[in-house]
Structure 1
Amino acid sequence: MENETDNAMLEASFDLATRIDEAESAIGTLRSDVDEVKARLDRVSRAASRPLLDGGQASPEVKGFVDGYLRRGSETQVKSINGAAPGDGGYAVPREIDAAIARHLQDISPIRAIAQVVQVGSAGYRKLITRGGTSSGWVSETAGRPETGTPGFAEIAPPFGELYANPAASQAMLDDAAFDLEGWLASEIGQEFARAEGAAFISGSGVDQPKGFLNGPKAEEGDATRSFGTLQFVKSGEAGGFSELAEVTLIDLVHTLKAGYRQGACWVMNSATLAKIRKLKTSDGAFLWQPGLVEGQPDRLLGYPVVEAEDMPDVAAGTFPIAFGNFKAGYLIAERSATQILRDPFTNKPFVHFYATKRVGGQLLDSAAIKLLKIAA
C-alpha cells in the first residue's frame, strides 16, 4: 500500500514538472510574439512619421505601387491599380512619384529649367511654325481686301530617345518599412535623368537622343539674311580667348538678339567660362559680372541672369562657350509624361534594380532666339 502511494506521488510530481515546462515554453513563445509585434509597430510608426512626397496622405495608388510592387514585386497588386498597365518593359509610376522625379529634373537640369517643355502622349511630336509671320496691309473702310502673301512654314519634329536609369537597393533596405523608398527612387532617377539630358540638350547628336542647340549650322549673318535653323554667332576678337574689348563684344552679342526676345533672355555657360567672365572689367574698373543681391536670385551679366551648364564647352579656339538668348522661344523639349519602372531582383542578387525609362526629345525651335559667342579672331 505504501509503495502504491509513493508511485502515485512520483507520477504526480512528474506531471507537475511537465506542465511547468509546457507553461514556460508557452510564455517564451508569447514573449517572442509580443516582441515581434512591437518591432513591427515601431517600424510602421517610423515609416508613418516620415514626410510623404505630396506632403499629405499617401494615395492608395502610391501605397499599392510602393508596398506591393517595388518592395515585394507583386505584379498582381500593380495590375489592379487603375492606369498602371505594363508598357515599354515596365509599369507606369503613380503621378505623385512622377511629379517628384519632374521636380528633381527641374532643379538639376539647367536647360530644362529655361527651355519650353511640352508633354506628349506618344513618342512623336510635330509642330508647325511660321517663318517671318503673316503678311498684312492697310485699306480704307470701303476698299476691297486684296489677298496677302502666304507665310512660309517650317515643321519642327524633335528627335526622341529613350532615357534610362538603373538604381539598385538591397532587399534588406526594401524590407525596412522606415526606408523612404519612393523618395529615394525619385531622387536617384531624377539625378541620372538630369545628368544625361543636360548633355543631350546642348550637344546631342539627334540619333536616338535629343538634338542639342549647339549641334547645328552656324553663321555670322543676321536674322534678315540667315537661313532658318542656323544660329548666329559673334566672334570674341581673340583666337584663343577674350580680347581686351570683351565688354564691347558681349554687348554686341546681346543686341544681335531682337528686343522682343531679350525679355526673358539669359546667359548659358559652364563654371570654367564663368570664372573667366567674372574677372572681366569695364574701362572704368567695374566688374561686368554682378552677384545676386537677394538670396535665390541669379547672378547677372550686363543685366541678364547667368545659368551654369557644365556641358557647355570650355574656352578654346573655335569653340562656342557662351550662349545668350530666350530659350523658352528658342529650344523645345518634348517628353512622354509617364516614367516606366521595371523591378529586376535577378540580375545582381542580393540587390534589386529598378530599371526606369522615359521618352524625351529636343530640338532647336527658333534660331532667331539664341545667339552664340565663338572664340575666334
Structure 2
Amino acid sequence: MDRIEVKADALEDSFEAIEARDDGIAALNAELALLKKKIADGSIAAKRPALDGVKSGEVSAFVAQYLRKGIESGVELKALGSSTDAIGGYAVPREIDQAIGETLVAISPIRAIANVVKVGTANYRKLVATGGTPSGWVGFEAARPETGTPTFTEIVPASGDLYANPAASQQMLDDAMFDVEKWLAQEIATEFARAEGVAFIKGTGSSQPLGFLSSPSATTLDGMRAMGTLQFIGTGTAAAFPASNPQDKLIDLVQSLRQPYRQGAVFVMNSTTASVIRKFKTTDGAFIWSPGLVAGAPSSLLGYPVIEAEDMPDIAANSLSIAFGNFKQGYTIAERAATSILRDPYTHKPYVHFYATKRIGGQVTNSESIKLLKFA
C-alpha cells in the first residue's frame, strides 16, 4: 500500500505542475494581448532595438543642436578656451574627429608615410641619442673598462595652428536631408590636407611645420653631418638627368640609404617628375618603372613604392625634386588629439562659418633615413 500511495502522490504533483504552467502561459498571453492593444491605440510607443550604425547621443545632439542651430545648452561640449568658451571653440566629438583623420590619411601623401604622434599638450618633444653607446669585447674574467656616454639632443618639431573656415547657408543647415556631419568633416579634412601637403614638404618652420626640403642639406656622408642635415646626391647635370644611363643616379640614391632604412623606404616626387622617370629603360630595353596592377596600389621604382606628392618641385636647376627614404623613421608629425570648432553666424551673414583649428607640428627627426636627389 505504501508504494501505491507514493506513486499516486508523485502523479498528482505532476498534474499540478502542468496546470500551473498552463496558468502561467495564459497569464503571459493575456499580458501580450493587452500590450498589443495599447500599441495599436497609441497608448505606448513600440520600442525597437537600435540598428548598427546609429549615431551616439553625443554626436546627434552636437549636430542637431550646436551645428545646425547654435544651441549650446543641453549639449556635451568640451571648451578649449583659456577663459571663455568663445576663445578656443569646442572639441568636436570623437566620431567626427576620426572621420577627419581618416580622410587626411587618404589624401595627404606625407601624412600617410610619416610617423604621426598624437599629443595632449601644445608641443611634442623627443630625445635623440647622438653618437651611440660605445662597446667592446673582453675576456670572461677580464676587467670591464668604463664606456663613453651618449649625448642626448632634444627635438621639438616646429608647429602652428592649422585652420579651416568652411561656410554653409542657414537654409542648408535647416534642411533635414543635408548631412552636416559628413559635409563638415570632408570640408575640414580637404582644407587641412591642402595646407599640410605644402607644409610637410617645404614649410618654413615659422608658425608651421618645417618641411623636409626646407631642412639643411649637404653631400656629407652619414655620421659626419650635423644632426638634422639631410644628404643629397647630385645628378651631375643642371636641371636634368645625365644623358647617358640616367637610371644610374636613381640607383646611387637608393644605395646611399643604409640597408636598415631601405626596408619600408619609398620614393617621393610629383607627377611631372614621374612622367620623366617612367620612360627610363635598362640596357636590355626593360622599363625600371612598374605600374601598380591593383586599383589603389602604388607604382614601384627599382622595387620601392612611389608616392606622388604634387607639392614636390619640378625638375629645375638645383632643385631637390626626388626624395627617397624611410619617412616613418625620418619625419615626425605631432598633432593635438582634438580638433576644435567655433560656430560663427555673424561675420558673413546669411552664411554660417565653422572655424576649425588644430595644432600640428612636423620636422625631420632622423636625418640619416631620408636622402634627396639634387639636379645640379
Q: Are 2:76 and 1:74 aligned?
A: no
- CA offsets 1:285-312 (integer angstroms, 9 cap, x no match): 2111111123332100000000011111
Alpha-carbon distance in 1 for matches of 2:324, 2:289: 15
**Paired residue for 2:217?**
218
Deviation, structure 1 residue 103: 0.5
Structure 2 counterparts to residues 228-267 of structure 1, below 5 A:
228-243=227-242, 244-267=244-267
Structure 2 counterparts to residues 116-265 of structure 1, below 5 A:
116-243=115-242, 244-265=244-265
Alpha-carbon distance in 1 for matches of 2:235, 2:313: 15
Deviation, structure 1 residue 326: 0.2
**Paired residue for 1:111?**
110
Alpha-carbon distance in 1 for matches of 2:179, 2:130: 50
Contact 1:69 1:77 in 2 (8 A): no
Alpha-carbon distance in 1 for matches of 2:328, 2:231: 17
Contact 2:239 2:319 in 1 (8 A): no
**Paired residue for 2:14?**
none
Alpha-carbon distance in 2 for matches of 1:269, 1:214: 12
Partner SS state of residue 61, structure 1: helix
Deviation, structure 1 residue 85: 2.2
Structure 2 counterparts to residues 1-377 of structure 1, below 5 A:
56-78=53-75, 81=76, 84-87=78-81, 88-243=87-242, 244-376=244-376
Contact 2:79 2:88 in 1 (8 A): no
Unaligned regions of 5+ residues in structure 2, if any? 1-50, 82-86
Per mean C-alpha deviation after superposition, the further-off stretch among 360-369 and 134-143 is 134-143
Deviation, structure 1 residue 217: 1.4
Report how many aligned residue pairs link the two structures: 320
Deviation, structure 1 residue 132: 3.2
Contact 1:231 1:367 in 2 (8 A): yes
- CA offsets 1:77-109 (integer angstroms, 9 cap, x no match): 33xx1x622425210000000000000110011
Contact 1:84 1:94 in 2 (8 A): no
Contact 1:131 1:154 in 2 (8 A): yes
Partner SS state of residue 60, structure 2: helix
Contact 2:104 2:193 in 1 (8 A): yes
- CA offsets 1:2-39 (integer angstroms, 9 cap, x no match): xxxxxxxxxxxxxxxxxxxxxxxxxxxxxxxxxxxxxx
Aligned partner letter, 1:223: D
Q: Percent identity at matched positions?
A: 64
Partner SS state of residue 73, structure 2: helix
Deviation, structure 1 residue 349: 1.3
- CA offsets 1:25-68 (integer angstroms, 9 cap, x no match): xxxxxxxxxxxxxxxxxxxxxxxxxxx9xx71211110111111
Calculate the TM-score normalised by the size of structure 1: 0.82
Alpha-carbon distance in 1 for matches of 2:372, 2:217: 9
Alpha-carbon distance in 2 for matches of 1:292, 1:67: 43
Deviation, structure 1 residue 350: 1.3
Alpha-carbon distance in 2 for matches of 1:191, 1:313: 21
- CA offsets 1:312-346 (integer angstroms, 9 cap, x no match): 11100011000000000000100001000000111
Contact 1:323 1:370 in 2 (8 A): yes
Partner SS state of residue 56, structure 1: coil
Contact 1:237 1:375 in 2 (8 A): yes
Calculate the TM-score normalised by the size of structure 2: 0.83
Alpha-carbon distance in 1 for matches of 2:322, 2:175: 48
Alpha-carbon distance in 2 for matches of 1:296, 1:197: 21
Per mean C-alpha deviation after superposition, the further-off stretch among 292-301 and 118-127 is 292-301
